[in-house]
Amino acid sequence: MTGHLKSAVAESYRRLSQLGLNIGSAGNVSARDGDRVLITRTGATDAIDADGVVEIDLDGAYEGDLAPSSEWEMHTAIYRAAPRAAAVVHTHSDACTALACLGEGLPPFHYMVLGFGGPDVRCAPYFTFGTPALAAAAAEAIQDRTACLLANHGMICHGRSLEAAVATALRLETLARQYLMARAVAPPKLLSPEQVAEAQERFKAYGQPKAGRRIA
């Protein structure tokens, strides 16, 4: 199982590069396996394979010559904050990073923002990369959400699977780009609290099968 999951983590990291969400050695990917975490190595590139994925515990202990990503603590903090998360994706994607460099989160300019778990996507304050302070800030900002921005840095998200986490990263990048495009023209009109509440109700059944009607 561990070997298969390592391959899947590496494949997901390569997928982020193919989607244009990471360039070079930016970002990192992990998957949880019980009380262990499989995370991309420090300095990973889009040529990574299973051998470049490091197994750690939730305190960051590992064996072998390869060190885990410098952001391992941010990943494990999010697994603690979101126990149902099975995978975490961190990127420096363009639109998310641009918005994060403004120190802003993503407001409810579009109903799809609610798909991350609340009426907005928060932006964690800036802390130096790879530090416990950044890990704590990210875990707080992502509470009750599946994603958050990281000021002057990028974004991080989690999902029930690696595929879901990558899809969440792509969806957030798309919405951040659309928000910045709209804001370049004029201040976007945000959804009202009433519109947010109505959309949240609709989201409860989003993607669920509906009972069909019998056709005589």
11, 55, 63, 71: the catalytic one is 71
Q: Work out the pLDDT band at 207, boundaries 50, 70, 90.
A: low
Percent share of the chain, pLDDT over 90:
88
Candidate from 118-132, 179-193, 195-209 with smallest mean pLDDT:
195-209
What are the C-alpha distances in Å from 58 to residues 82, 98, 102, 143, 149? 13, 31, 32, 18, 22
Q: Work out the pLDDT band at 213, boundaries 50, 70, 90.
A: low
Q: What is the pLDDT of residue 212?
A: 56
SS3 label, residue 128: coil
Span 160-164, average pLDDT: 98
- Break the chain down into helix, strand, coil percent, rounded to 5: 40, 20, 40
Total residues found in the chain within this entry: 216
Candidate from 124-138, 156-170, 196-210 with smallest mean pLDDT:
196-210
- The predicted model scores a pTM of 0.93
- The per-residue pLDDT for range 121-130, each reduced to its tens digit, is 999 999 999 9
SS3 label, residue 208: coil
- The per-residue pLDDT for range 30-46, each reduced to its tens digit, is 999 999 999 999 999 88
Higher-confidence residue of 2 and 180: namely 180
Q: Reply yes or no on whether 71 is catalytic.
A: yes
- The per-residue pLDDT for range 46-67, each reduced to its tens digit, is 899 999 999 999 999 999 899 9
Q: Do β-strands 53-57 and 36-40 pair in parallel, antiparallel, or remain unpaired?
A: antiparallel
